[in-house]
Amino acid sequence: MSKKMIALIILTFKEGVRDRALIGIGLFSVFMMGGALVVVSLFMRELHKVSVDINLSAITFAGLLLTFFVSINLIAKDMDKHTIYCVLSKPFSRSQYIWGKFLGIMLLIIVAFGILTLCSSATIFFIKSQYEVYFKGFSWFSFYTAIYAELLMFFLLNAVVIFYSTITTSSFITLLFSISTYIAGQTIEEVVLFLKTRGAADMVLSEGINKIIDVAQYILPNLSVFDLKVQSAHAVSISNGYLFSITAYSLIYTMILLLVASFIFTRRELK
């Protein structure tokens, strides 16, 4: 990793970490985790399930807020506000810019995840110590595995954000497209399954729609594969093969997106 790339990564990280949105996101997450302490008492027995559900959801929400507000600021707004000249007037290629930005954003997200993981671990530890009996079906390993899987999803999602930034001209459109891709990516698997099992019986879809869904299935990133929250809530074990697969999927898809983004961005004119 050359010195200038490290400088770019640190530049991106610092600018992101000082975004005031982070305070809001942090407070929100802590609030949600604190809420877990209260909500838990409303439930019957499986307190580990509720604790894990809330904590993992809090971490995911935080990641989404970071991606849709801070990342967009760091990339799309870079072009909007012409701060990108700071970087491109230096000896960076367009491709290096894309990768440097991506790694800077990922560093930010990893650090944020690290802090949130600590906070949620503390929350769960506390609840566990209070209600030891009702925490039978819990596993720390399962909990951290789910967080790891979420992180893989955010690798991919942020690459999506960067990709859209290179093809659109406004940060708002990037935001819209990114959120739409997130929603589509989360639901596509279930929609396809639903149509496959009910298709012929209940609904007769036109050829066109079937084709669109077929294509969409492979182009859209299937984000639901990274959702191990429900399994983690019940300490259901995930096979190593599956973990390896989703890691590979995330890395490969991310790299494809970044390569295409680099390609597009190299040809783009900055007015």
Partner 1 sequence: MRPVLLKSLSPLFLILLIVLCFLVQKDLAIKREHFLEKTYMDYTLPSKVSGIVAMEFKGIVSDFLFLKVSTFLGDKFMKRLMLGDRHAEYIYNSVDVITDLDPWFWDAYLLANMVLSWDFRKIDKANTLLFKAREYRTDDFQVPYQIGFNYYYFLKDNTNGAKYMMEASKLPGSPAYLTSLAARLFMYQNQYKPAILFLKDVIAKTRNPVLKKRFETRLNTLIVLDDLEKAVDKFKEIYGHFPLKISDLVEKKIIEKIPQDPYGGDFFIMKNSRVFTTSKMVFKKRKPSQEKQFDSSN
Partner 2 sequence: MSEILIKNISKTYISDFKREKKTAVQDVSLSIDSAEVLGIIGRNGAGKSTIIKMIMGFIRPDKGTIAIDGKIPLDPDSRLNVGYLPENPYFYDNLTAQELLNFSSYASGLDKKTARRSIETLLKQVDLYEVRKQRLRTYSKGMTQRAGICFALVHDPEIIILDEPMSGLDPFGRKMVIDLIEDLKKRGKTVLFCSHILNDVERICDRVAIMDSGELKGIYTKQQISESEGMEELFLNVVRDKKI
- List, as own/partner pairs, every contact residues 24-28 make where C-beta atoms lie below 8 angstroms and the sequence separation is at least 24, other chains included: 24/65, 25/62, 25/65, 25/66, 25/69, 25/70, 25/112, 26/62, 26/115, 28/58, 28/61, 28/62, 28/65
Please, which of residues 13-32 interact with partner 2 by CB under 8 A? 14-15, 18-19
Determine how many CB atoms are found less than 10 A away from the CB of residue 103: 18
Q: With binding defined as CB under 8 A, does residue 50 bind partner 1?
A: yes
Cα gap 120→149, rounded to integer Å: 16
* CB of 119 vs partner 1, minimal distance in Å: 17
For partner 1, which is the closer residue by CB, 117 or 186? Answer: 186
Please, which of residues 46-85 interact with partner 2 by CB under 8 A? 81-83, 85
**Which one of 3-11, 75-83, 155-163, 180-188 is the stretch in contact with partner 1 (CB under 8 A)?**
180-188
Residue 187 contact, options partner 1, partner 2, none, Cβ 5-8 Å cut-off depending on partner type: partner 1
* CB of 170 vs partner 1, minimal distance in Å: 26
For partner 1, which is the closer residue by CB, 23 or 236? Answer: 236
Q: With binding defined as CB under 8 A, does residue 48 bind partner 1?
A: no
Residue 227 contact, options partner 1, partner 2, none, Cβ 5-8 Å cut-off depending on partner type: partner 1
- DSSP secondary structure of 174-218: HHHHHHHHHHHHHHHHHHHHHHHHHHHHH----HHHHHHHHHHHH
| CB neighbour list of residue 64: distance below 8 Å, 6 or more residues apart | 182
Q: Point out which residues bind partner 2 (CB under 8 A).
A: 3-4, 6-8, 10-11, 14-15, 18-19, 81-83, 85-93, 96, 269-271
